[in-house]
Amino acid sequence: FQLNILLASLFNLIGTMVITIMGLPLLLPVIIMLLTVYFFIQKYYRLTTVELKRLTSLSLSPFYSHLGDTVNGLATIRAQRFVER
């Protein structure tokens, strides 16, 4: 389903670009410039997104570690009967 939407949008975009360039050939340099700007913005966005995901997982790591240790130690606490009654 997602691939179908992607391909339909891609062919729609390519068709629109071809018809626009055929009608207004002077628009070709503008389109090339905009695609170049889009490429650099996308590259920056991807790098930023990867870094944010890394920082998020790094900041949540102590929480998950503590939670895992608590769950693992719960059996020992119950075995020694240190649980509040």
Render pLDDT for 20-47 as a digit per residue (tens, 0 to 9): 999 999 999 999 999 999 999 999 999 9
Specify the pLDDT at position 48. Answer: 93
State the average pLDDT over residues 3-22.
94
Q: Work out the mean pLDDT of the chain and round it to a whole number.
A: 88
pLDDT band at 84 (very low <50, low <70, confident <90, very high): low
Identify whether the C-beta of residue 21 lies closer than 8 Å to the C-beta of residue 27. Answer: yes
- Global confidence as pTM: 0.53
